[in-house]
């Protein structure tokens, strides 16, 4: 098990000191696929590099299976790492690239060959054994770099945006493959990405980062359904925000009034952090967050009125971009094919499934 405690990294001297990673703590279990997700520049790579030992932590600790890794040099951590740029050795053949990590481990010559070939086969690379990396496609290079990281049976696998250089279709294909290989090897994996869809699709659990801090940690679906902040709500999936006035509040739940939309009982209430409080407009005291699939379109009577700005056919579903008086910005609603369809410019009534919504309120003034 990997345990990271209060890990901090600062760059530069005081006048323009930058806290790239700010007291991050997390645990990753054996065999788990764990993702660090966040916008670019939020400190994911720096965290990963500290775990790898490529960057020295300013403070905090990194433990693996009860052993303190914080000051262990990278070459003795027994880690596998996959870089965004692949970082394959351009002058070495595929075989030599993959076998690279076996040599410093004093593996006998015959065993180097057999183990390398075994991993090459597992990644369907045996045909390219003697080629130079530059002669391979992006996806193949990526597989070589995974093979190189796995061949010496590391205790964990670190991947820093490994799919960023691939085109969209290959990206989806490769992420499934990475997941398959990870399961096959049963290896604790730490994956970094800024792509929330990718993170949702392959992670057992994910940690959401913002500005150097770990802001939320959990299973993808839990973070999606129960975002702990506006940032989390908006970064993971689409978030529709509606102005709300709180009528009544009891432990963990609230009854709110929506402009032109009547009363709703929301089972989940989250207090906003200081930075996000300003997002609540003056004429409201809370924001109601509804996912696109938690909203329904229907006749106007008795519902919140809205107007269709754009209708997008996504194949399986229809997506509507809607303007509504109650909304902060535009709303996105997804409706099944079977539901009635609306054209652009049409007026519609909006309903929501309050069970699936989250209410963000201003913190109690105290």
Ligand X SMILES: Nc1ncnc2c1ncn2[C@@H]1O[C@H](COP(=O)(O)OP(=O)(O)O)[C@@H](O)[C@H]1O
Q: Would you tell me which residues interact with Mg ion (CB under 5 A)?
A: 45
Nearest residue to the partner ligand X, using Cβ? 45
59 near other proteins, rule: CB under 8 A = no
- Alpha-carbon distance of 265 to 267, in angstroms, equals 7
Show the DSSP H helices in 123-238 as ranges: 138-150, 168-185, 196-202, 220-225, 230-235
Q: Quick one: which of 6, 30, 41, 105 contacts ligand X (CB under 6 A)?
A: 41
Of the candidates 326, 324, 325, 353, the one whose C-alpha atom is nearest the C-alpha of residue 265 is 353
- Of 84 and 93, CB closest to ligand X: 84
114 near other proteins, rule: CB under 8 A = no
CA 313 to chain centre: 26
Q: In the bound complex, what is the minimum distance in angstroms from residue 8's beta carbon to ligand X?
A: 12
- Alpha-carbon distance of 228 to 312, in angstroms, equals 30
| Coil/strand/helix, residue 294 | helix
| Coil/strand/helix, residue 220 | helix
- Of 52 and 244, CB closest to other proteins: 52
71 near other proteins, rule: CB under 8 A = yes
**DSSP-derived secondary structure letter, 39:** S
Q: Quick one: which of 46, 97, 145, 332 contacts ligand X (CB under 6 A)?
A: 46
Residue 81 binds what, of Mg ion, other proteins, ligand X, none (CB under 5 to 8 Å, by partner type)? other proteins
103 near other proteins, rule: CB under 8 A = yes
Q: Quick one: which of 23, 83, 195, 307 contacts other proteins (CB under 8 A)?
A: 83
354 near ligand X, rule: CB under 6 A = no
Q: Name 343's Cβ contacts closer than 8 Å, sequence gap at least 6.
A: 308, 311
Contact between 3 and 27 (Cβ < 8 Å): yes
Q: In the bound complex, what is the minimum distance in angstroms from residue 77's beta carbon to Mg ion?
A: 20
20 near ligand X, rule: CB under 6 A = yes
18 near ligand X, rule: CB under 6 A = yes
Pick the piece of the chain touching ligand X (CB under 6 A) from 34-42, 90-98, 105-113, 351-359: 34-42
DSSP track, 1-34: -EEEEEEEEEES-GGG-EEEEEEEEEEE-TT-EE
DSSP track, 283-348: T-SEEEEE-GGGEEEE-STTSEEEEEEEEEE-SSEEEEEEEETTBSS-EEEEEETTSPP--TT-EE
Q: In the bound complex, what is the minimum distance in angstroms from residue 364's beta carbon to ligand X?
A: 33
Q: What are phi and psi of 53, to 5 degrees?
A: 95, 5
Q: In the bound complex, what is the minimum distance in angstroms from residue 109's beta carbon to other proteins?
A: 16
Residue 20 binds what, of Mg ion, other proteins, ligand X, none (CB under 5 to 8 Å, by partner type)? ligand X
Question: For binding to other proteins (CB under 8 A), which residues are involved?
Answer: 11, 52-56, 71, 73-76, 78-81, 83, 85, 87-92, 100-101, 103-105, 145, 148-149, 152
Question: For binding to ligand X (CB under 6 A), which residues are involved?
Answer: 11, 18, 20, 38, 40-46
């Amino acid at each position: 098990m990997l345990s990271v405690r209060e890990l901090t990294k600062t760059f530069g001297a005081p006048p323009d000191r930058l806290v790239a990673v700010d007291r991050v703590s997390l645990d990753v279990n054996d065999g788990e696929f764990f993702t660090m997700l966040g916008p670019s520049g939020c400190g994911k790579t720096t965290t990963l590099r500290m775990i790898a030992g490529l960057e020295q932590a300013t403070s905090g600790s990194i433990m693996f299976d009860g052993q303190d890794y914080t000051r262990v040099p990278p070459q003795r951590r027994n880690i596998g790492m996959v870089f965004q740029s692949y970082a394959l050795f351009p002058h070495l053949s595929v075989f030599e690239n993959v076998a690279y990590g076996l040599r410093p481990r004093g593996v006998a010559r015959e065993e180097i060959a057999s183990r390398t070939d075994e991993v090459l086969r597992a990644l369907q690379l045996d045909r390219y054994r003697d080629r130079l990396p530059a002669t391979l496609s992006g996806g193949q290079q990526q597989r070589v770099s995974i093979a190189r990281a796995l061949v010496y049976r590391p205790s964990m696998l670190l991947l820093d945006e490994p799919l960023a250089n691939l085109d969209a279709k290959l990206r989806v294909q490769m992420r499934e493959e990475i997941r398959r290989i990870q399961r096959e090897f049963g290896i604790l994996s730490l994956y970094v990405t800024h792509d929330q869809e990718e993170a949702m699709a392959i992670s057992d659990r994910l940690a959401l980062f913002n500005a150097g801090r770990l802001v939320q940690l959990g299973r993808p679906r839990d973070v999606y359904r129960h975002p702990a902040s506006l940032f989390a709500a908006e970064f993971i999936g689409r978030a529709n925000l509606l102005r709300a006035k709180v009528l009544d509040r009891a432990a963990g739940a609230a009854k709110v009034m929506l402009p032109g939309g009547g009363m709703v009982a929301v089972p989940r209430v989250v207090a906003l952090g200081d930075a996000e409080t300003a997002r609540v407009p003056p004429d409201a005291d809370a924001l109601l967050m509804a996912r696109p699939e938690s909203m329904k379109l229907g006749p106007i009577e008795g519902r919140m009125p809205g107007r269709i700005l754009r209708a997008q056919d996504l194949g399986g579903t229809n997506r509507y971009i809607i303007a509504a008086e109650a909304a902060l910005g535009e709303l996105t609603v997804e409706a099944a094919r079977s539901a009635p369809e609306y054209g652009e410019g049409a007026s519609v009534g909006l309903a929501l499934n309050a069970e699936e919504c989250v209410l963000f309120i201003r913190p109690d003034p105290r």
